Structure 1
Amino acid sequence: MRLPLFALLSLALAGIGSAEAQTLKADYDISLAGIPLGTADLSSTFEGPKYKMQLGVKLTGIAKMLTGGKGAATASGNIAGAQPQPAAFAVTSRSSGDQRTVRMGLNAGTVAAVEIVPPIDEKPDRVPVKDADRKSIVDPISALLMPALVGGMTDSANCNRVIPVFDGAARFDIVLTYGETKQIDKPGYNGPVLVCNARYVAISGHRALRPSTKFMEDNKDMSVWLMPLEGTRLLVPVRIAVRTMVGMSVVEASNLSFGKDSNAPVQAGAIR
């Protein structure tokens, strides 16, 4: 469903929040094929249309031994329209003993500069990233914030969207469609969530001949559960499930709080 730009702007800005900062804190459990891998913590601060996000990941057990055990990411920008408009993004990650840092500067969602250390290896099957692929995008952390598209926060139409993601090296779309509405009861939140089916569409920067690329493009076993934030026009994930080549990967919230008092539970009663 597409809405006129002025309608999207008015909907998104109508309830983003007061000038006084409010913070969403969420703790997530990470598992693969039913085996716990670690935890993640997300802190998102909102002040008017501005947002700042910090994500930390800590792995345990074998996953920690193989990857170094942790990673961190930050993002900031403004919420104005159908998606966030990031201004800065940075992530440091470990994989098989290697560490890579990506930093991106953006102007209203259009990439102005990217630094990747160490650089991504050139491969014959890597699809070139075009200039157009760096425009009107969101980074992977800002993509977790989804402004409502229609009046009712739990209206099924709020699932139906395309999220254009650029992580500094690869450009892809996440296509969401409505699946169902569930009631959940978690520490910090008791209420309805939208269950959206998800599809991955590779655009550029990916390895075209990799089996994992084809697997993800054909993957129909992905979903995200979206929770409405009280007093805002934002939906945020409480559960992300993705079928991988070695089993189902699940990131699920274990505790949630939102407000000027960051220990305050998310309220379902005030959802519009």
Structure 2
Amino acid sequence: MTISILTRLTSGAALGALIGLAPALAAANSATTAIRYGVTLAGLPIGTANLSINLSEGGPYKINAAAKVGGVISLISDGRGSASASGKLGSAAPVPSSYALNSIAGKKPQTVQMALSAGNITAIDLQPDLPPRKDRVPVTAADKHGVLDPLSAMLVPVAGNGDALEPAACKRTLPVFDGATRFDIKLSYARTEQVDGKGYSGPTIVCSARYVPIAGHRPNRDQTKFMESNRDIELWLAPIKGTHVLAPFKIIVGTQIGRLTLNATRFGGSGGGDD
């Protein structure tokens, strides 16, 4: 369950060394940043996560991510995963072109590969496929249009030349398709919080988030019902240096066994040193 939340809501954000970035992205006005997270559940450390982002405003972006969950949670469940996504940054949202996920939880591997064009899924391979269930809401062709992959959904471009850290940054709905399920993450402004971390110290915009299942889910499952009514989900957004793009400094998700928190232990730099 825990690794599922990490890969679905944080796109498998990071384990160990980061994958090399595409040379084509080293353009003018580009930014490269590394984000490292500590992961806790009910206050206990259970894993680590890393995110590597290379982007050019109005141009291409590449994200590599991975996560590892273990520690005390390994008595219940453990897992690891890596993911990548690429596309082009629009003024208000990413426009992804590819997404891939490799994860394993409880010795059960899963892979997802997707190709996208203009927000529409053009090809998909999910291994293994979801088992058939009579109560599962079917994913239709329409559910694969106008979507973001889970990793691209972590980038929040803010239009204009003013301050990116405005409450309006939270005024959006993220239409996510993860290869198996289609859901919305509806954001709204909650407050502004100061953070003091390695690589970034300053204000963050805190967005309350609501999980809204659309398709591929089983409505009567306890976990689905819990997440639908969950009011304990927050995204703390901080700016990627030199851009009008925000990324999560902190992610909080209430779960049935305690609060899951990803908190940045480093936000910024290329990941190659102590910058």
Question: What TM-score, normalized by structure 1, do the two folds share?
Answer: 0.86
Code of the aligned partner of 1:181: T
Structure 1 247/256 Cα, relative in aligned 2: closer, same or farther at 3 Å? same
The 5 Å alignment of 1:195-206 reads: 195-206=206-217
| Alignment correspondent of 1:183 | 194
Match of 2:227, SS?
Answer: helix
Query: How far is the alpha carbon of 1:19 from its aligned partner?
Result: 2.5
Alpha-carbon distance between aligned partners in 1 of 2:75 and 2:152, rounded to the nearest angstrom = 29
Code of the aligned partner of 1:180: R
| Alignment correspondent of 2:4 | none
Alignment pair present for 1:34 and 2:64: no
Query: How far is the alpha carbon of 1:32 from its aligned partner?
Result: 0.8
Alignment pair present for 1:107 and 2:117: yes
Alpha-carbon distance between aligned partners in 2 of 1:206 and 1:130, rounded to the nearest angstrom = 12
Question: What TM-score, normalized by structure 2, do the two folds share?
Answer: 0.85
Query: How far is the alpha carbon of 1:118 from its aligned partner?
Result: 1.4
Alignment pair present for 1:229 and 2:229: no
Structure 1 123/161 Cα, relative in aligned 2: closer, same or farther at 3 Å? same
Q: Is the 8 A contact 1:228 1:235 kept in 2?
A: yes
Q: What is the percent sequence identity of the aligned residues?
A: 41
Match of 1:216, SS?
Answer: helix
CA RMSD of aligned residues (A): 2.0
Q: Is the 8 A contact 1:159 1:176 kept in 2?
A: yes
| Alignment correspondent of 1:13 | none
Q: Is the 8 A contact 2:56 2:89 kept in 1?
A: no
| Alignment correspondent of 2:21 | none
Count of residues in correspondence between the two structures: 249
Match of 1:165, SS?
Answer: strand
Q: Is the 8 A contact 1:180 1:194 kept in 2?
A: yes
Equivalent position to 1:46, from 45, 55, 59:
55
Code of the aligned partner of 1:247: G
Structure 2 spans left out of the alignment, 5+ residues: 1-25
Equivalent position to 2:164, from 142, 153, 156:
153
- The one-character-per-residue Cα deviations of 1:22-60 (angstroms, maximum 9, x if unpaired) are 311010011111111110111011145101111111223
Query: How far is the alpha carbon of 1:21 from its aligned partner?
Result: 4.2
| Alignment correspondent of 1:216 | 227
Query: How far is the alpha carbon of 1:64 from its aligned partner?
Result: 4.5
